[in-house]
Amino acid sequence: MGNPNFVDYVKINCRSGKGGAGSAHFFRSRQNPRGGPDGGDGGRGGHIILKGNQQLWTLLHLKYTKHVKAESGQPGSKSLKTGASGKDYIVEVPLGTVARNADTNDFQCEITENGQIHILVQGGRGGLGNDHFKSSTNRAPKYAQPGESGMEEWHILELKLLADVGLVGFPNAGKSTLLSVISAAKPEIADYPFTTLTPNLGLVKYRDYRSFVVADIPGIIEGAHEGKGLGLRFLRHIERNSILLFMIPADSKNIKDEYEILLKELRQYNPELLDKSKLLAVTKSDLLDDELKSELKKELPDLSYVFISSIANTGLMELKDLIWQELNK
C-alpha cells in the first residue's frame, strides 16, 4: 500500500567542521635570526549546506543517512599562510523542503528553487595566527588562537509538495481515479478508506502544450487536524497548492454538508488554507440525468463547480478549463 519510496520526513544529525588553529610561527633566516611573528590563520571548518535539486521528488536518499559531517579546517602555517577551509557537506533536497531545528522546532529555511543553497550549520571559524597579536608593547607574541569548534545539531527536513492544484476530499471521492485519467500518474487505486497512502503528483497536459501539476493528497477524515489516521502528515502538502479542488461524489448524502466538514478540517489545521482559490468537482456524475443534475445544483455550496465522471470521461475538459482560468486569474 502506498509508495515505500515516497519519504517526506527525515531527521538528521549535522556536524560542521572545526576551524583550523592559527600558527604561532616566527620568521627565521640567517640574515634575520630573530624575525617577527609570521604565523598564518587557520582555515574555517566546513559548513553543512542544503541545496535544491529539481531532479529529486522525495527525501528517500536521506532516509538511511542519519549523520552528516563536514571536514575540519587546516591549521595556519609560516609565511602568513592561511590553512585550507574544510570541505562543506552538501545535502541535496527536493524543491519544497523545509528545514527546522529538531530541538527547538524553529523554522530555518525553505528550499523552493533549483540550485538554491542555505547554510544549515556553520563551520567553526579558523583561529588567528600570532601575527595578529603583535603590538608596540609585545613584538613577539607566542600566542595564536585555536580554531573554533564545529557545531552538532539535529535537524528535521520535511517535504511539502509544490503543485498547482491539490485534490481535497474524503477517501473514495474518486481523486486517484481522476488523477490517473487526466495525467500520466499511476496511483494505486482500491475501494476502501485511506487507499492513497502517499501523495501522487500528476502533470496534466492542457491545450497548446501548456500544463499544470495536480497533487492527490490522501483522504482527509474528520479529525485529521488532530493527527487521526494519516491526516496531519498529508495536510501539509496542501499548503503549497494555489487551488484546492474539492471532490465530492454525486451519491453523497449531502454535498454541502460534506464540503463544510472538509472546510472545517482545513480551517482547524491552518486557517490560511481557506484563502486559496476553491473549486468543486461533483464526481461519479455518470449516475445523474439532467433532471437530477438540476435538483442537485440547488444544494451545492456557493463556488464554481463542474459535474464530472472519470469512468465515463465526461466533464474533464470542462474541469481543466475551469482550473486553467482559476490558475491564470
Domain with residue 251: its CATH number is 3.40.50.300
Q: Indicate whether 59 and 206 sit together in one domain.
A: no
**CA-based nearest residue to 180, from 45, 68, 310, 71:** 310
Residue closest to 112 by CA, chosen among 127, 94, 132: 94
**Which residue, 117, 142, 159, sits at the end of a domain?**
159
Question: Do the Cβ atoms of 210 and 223 come closer than 8 Å?
Answer: no
In a shared domain, residues 101 and 223: no
Residues 40 and 79 in one domain: yes
* Residue-by-residue DSSP string for 64-128: T--EEEPPPPPPPBTTTBPPPPPPPEEEEE-TTEEEEETTT--EEEEE-STT-EEEEEPPPPPPP
Question: What are the cell numbers at 79?
Answer: 609565511
- 209 shares a domain with 312: yes
pLDDT of residue 65: 87
DSSP E strands in 160-286: the ranges are 165-168, 200-205, 211-216, 243-249, 277-283
Return all residues near 74 (Cβ < 8 A) that are at least 6 apart: 20, 42, 43, 83, 84, 85, 86
Q: Determine the Cα angle at 201 with ends 287 and 54, to 5°.
A: 165
Query: Cα 179–181–187 angle (5° rounding)?
Result: 45
Q: Which residue range forms the structural domain that includes residue 301? A: 165-327
Query: How many residues appear in the chain?
Result: 329
Count of domains observed in the chain:
2
Residues 209 and 142 in one domain: no
In this prediction, residue 2 carries a pLDDT of 43
CATH code where residue 13 lies: 2.70.210.12
Q: Do 136 and 237 share a structural domain?
A: no
- Residues 121, 172 within the same domain: no
Q: Could you say which of 107, 124, 159 is where a domain stops?
A: 159
Q: Helix or strand or coil: residue 207?
A: helix
Q: What is the pTM of this model?
A: 0.64
Closest Cα to residue 98, out of 90, 88, 108, 89?
Answer: 108
Please give the backbone phi and psi of residue 305, each rounded to the nearest 5 degrees, phi first: -140, 165
Considering 124, 159, 194, which residue would you say is the last residue of a domain? 159
**Do residues 200 and 252 share a domain?**
yes
Regions in the chain scoring below 70 on pLDDT: 1-7, 161-162, 184-199, 217-238, 240
pLDDT digits (tens, 9 = 90+) for 150-208: 999 999 998 876 678 888 888 777 777 888 888 765 554 444 344 345 667 777 878 87
Phi first, then psi: what are they for 234, rounded to 5°? -95, -25
Instruction: Read off the DSSP letter of residue 147.
Output: P
